[in-house]
Amino acid sequence: MASLTHQGAGGEDLNLWNIVARMFDKATANLSIPEGLLKQIRACNAVYYVQFPVKIGDRYEMFQGWRAEHSQHRKPTKGGIRYSPHVTQDEVMGLAALMTYKCAIVDVPFGGSKGGVNLDPRQYTREELERITRRYTAELVRKNFIGPGINVPAPDLGTGEQEMAWIADTYDALTPGSIDSLACVTGKPVTQGGIAGRKEATGRGVQYGIREAFKFPEDLKPTGLTGGLEGKRVAIQGFGNVGYHVAKFLSEEDGCRVVGIGDISGGIRSEAGLSIADLTDHRARTGGIAGFPGSSPLGGPGDVLELDCDILVPAALENQITLANVDRVRARLIAEAANGPTTLGAGEKLHQRGVMIIPDIYLNAGGVTVSYFEWTKNLSHIRYGRMEKRLDEMYRQKLVSTIEQVTKSHVEDRLRRDLLHGADEVDLVNSGLEGSMQNAYREIRAALQSEPRHVDLRTAAYAVAVQKVARSYTELGDFP
């Protein structure tokens, strides 16, 4: 299938594969890695393109699907499946490359992959989406583009837990007797082999990443932002899985004020701050965010990007901040929850203006990190915490009793309950995620400090990732 070439304002190249490749070239210019090896890493190793029919109503419709494997230096390869009418082969390849670098940054031992089907999920019923998803999965099975040790999809734009459950069930039905079949896909409902904390993991990771940046005032200095997250004004584009969780966590746990939210239908703003719980109820009742009491409407889906705010979180699509609108972006910090939301040219202009960008390949890695935990859970066939929780609680009980005996005082009931609570699966998942996000941020900023030619966090993040992948390729050699 021919790739589409997107062009933006002033002829700006908006093709995601080209953008990622140019970013790769920029970052690797400062590294001493042989050219041949760089070419090997940069290339997208394999792309499966398929067209398949599905009966919709009383007629057949043809769908186009892709699954790209950017790098198999670690296996399985990993990456989401996107349902969008705008999916192209180059987009899927670019997103697969981002997955390779993302996994390397958070030390998740997977290669990068991505998939997509050309459809607008809002135009189909649940039964139709099930048939499309199962048929696409069957096509992946047929060509060996899915499997616990080969290629493991996850949710992305337009897909969620339900699609992942159908994928797991289809794979299981087509590979009878395979005891590890649940590990063929992550992001499943907890009741279908998923892991507690996966649904919110990408948003959680974004929160942890932003918190990490705020721990280093010197990193924020060019932005003029000072102090902690409390009271910071945040605007968010996208109110789906990622955007919703970022909005919820930053406002309910960090004291941020969400002053605007945009989605495909438009957007709303409120200088006083939007209550995410009330907005979620409103959306459930009315089917959208428009008309939320106390808010005023934004003109279109892109307007939220131009709101006056401290932190802008693009959490919808790629190519949202481009040369066409960058001069109107007023945020001081851009936290890239979406993949590829800022073009290279726009990023450079923002950097010149002292705007900090926490890059996608680091910031939205929470999803794949917790997917890794889900995959290992499926392969070990046991829920995290099941073996040790009771024992842990018994040790805690002994400790509290000893403290009471030695101090001859009583530990107050609420504190006792907290102290005696052994870790549940979600506690373990979140602590593993937090540790991963902390380590990765520190590694990237150390790379930036030690090599000023990296210029910004994105270039430093690419450099960290490519060096790890290069090491792996070198150690493996090439065979056959």
Q: Which residues are catalytic?
A: 114
Q: Does 88 bind ligand NAD (CB under 6 A)?
A: no
Q: Which is nearer to ligand NAD, 223 or 301 (CB)?
A: 301
Q: Which is nearer to ligand NAD, 238 or 385 (CB)?
A: 238
Q: How far is the CB of 314 from ligand NAD (least distance, A)?
A: 8
Stretch that binds ligand NAD, among 27-35, 46-54, 145-153, 260-268 (CB under 6 A): 260-268
Tokens encoding 172: 């299981």
| DSSP code of residue 2 | P
Q: How far is the CB of 13 from ligand NAD (least distance, A)?
A: 19
Q: Which is nearer to ligand NAD, 240 or 273 (CB)?
A: 240
Q: Does 163 bind ligand NAD (CB under 6 A)?
A: no
Distance (Å, rounded) from C-alpha 340 to C-alpha 421? 40
Q: How far is the CB of 315 from ligand NAD (least distance, A)?
A: 5
Say if CB 188 and CB 165 are below 8 A apart: yes
Q: Does 369 bind ligand NAD (CB under 6 A)?
A: no
Say if CB 250 and CB 229 are below 8 A apart: yes
Stretch that binds ligand NAD, among 38-46, 170-178, 231-239, 468-476 (CB under 6 A): 231-239
Which residues, other chains included, contact 334 with Cβ-Cβ below 8 Å and sequence gap of 6+?
A: 311, 312, 313, 314, 321, 341, 342, 350, 355, 356, 357, 358
Tokens encoding 160: 């969620």
Distance (Å, rounded) from C-alpha 171 to C-alpha 135? 11
Q: How far is the CB of 248 from ligand NAD (least distance, A)?
A: 13
Q: Which is nearer to ligand NAD, 240 or 432 (CB)?
A: 240
Say if CB 427 and CB 196 are below 8 A apart: no
Stretch that binds ligand NAD, among 140-148, 153-161, 323-331, 448-456 (CB under 6 A): 153-161
Q: Does 156 bind ligand NAD (CB under 6 A)?
A: yes
Q: What is the dihedral of CA 214, 219, 224, 226, to 10 degrees?
A: 30
How big is the site for ligand NAD, counted in residues (CB under 6 A)?
25
Q: Which is nearer to ligand NAD, 223 or 378 (CB)?
A: 378
Q: Does 209 bind ligand NAD (CB under 6 A)?
A: no
Q: How far is the CB of 423 from ligand NAD (least distance, A)?
A: 23
Query: Alpha carbon of 269 to those of 48, 361, 425: distances in Å?
Result: 42, 28, 36
Stretch that binds ligand NAD, among 150-158, 216-224, 387-395, 404-412 (CB under 6 A): 150-158
Q: Which is nearer to ligand NAD, 339 or 430 (CB)?
A: 339
Tokens encoding 239: 């109110």
Q: Which is nearer to ligand NAD, 303 or 425 (CB)?
A: 303
Q: How far is the CB of 240 from ligand NAD (least distance, A)?
A: 2
Count CA within 13 A, CB hemisphere, residue 29. 11
What residues from 332 to 361 belong to the interface with ligand NAD (CB under 6 A)? Answer: 337-339
Which residues, other chains included, contact 218 with Cβ-Cβ below 8 Å and sequence gap of 6+?
A: none
Q: Does 110 bind ligand NAD (CB under 6 A)?
A: no
Q: Does 436 bind ligand NAD (CB under 6 A)?
A: no
Q: Which is nearer to ligand NAD, 168 or 470 (CB)?
A: 168
Say if CB 264 and CB 243 are below 8 A apart: no
Residue with tokens 């203006």: 353
Beta-strand pair 266-269/257-263: antiparallel
Count CA within 13 A, CB hemisphere, residue 364. 30
Q: Does 241 bind ligand NAD (CB under 6 A)?
A: yes
Q: Does 411 bind ligand NAD (CB under 6 A)?
A: no
Q: Which residue is nearest to ligand NAD (CB)?
A: 240
Q: Does 264 bind ligand NAD (CB under 6 A)?
A: yes
Query: Alpha carbon of 10 to those of 150, 170, 319, 324, 346: distances in Å?
Result: 42, 46, 14, 8, 12
Closest CA to 361 of 43, 81, 19: 19
Say if CB 187 and CB 154 are below 8 A apart: yes
Q: Does 317 bind ligand NAD (CB under 6 A)?
A: yes
Residue 431: Cβ within 10 Å count: 11
Say if CB 186 and CB 111 are below 8 A apart: no
Stretch that binds ligand NAD, among 60-68, 167-175, 258-266, 411-419 (CB under 6 A): 258-266
Binding residue (CB under 6 A) for ligand NAD from 367, 428, 441, 460: 367
Say if CB 230 and CB 329 are below 8 A apart: no
Residues that bind ligand NAD (CB under 6 A): 80, 155-158, 202, 237-243, 262-264, 301, 315-317, 337-339, 364, 367
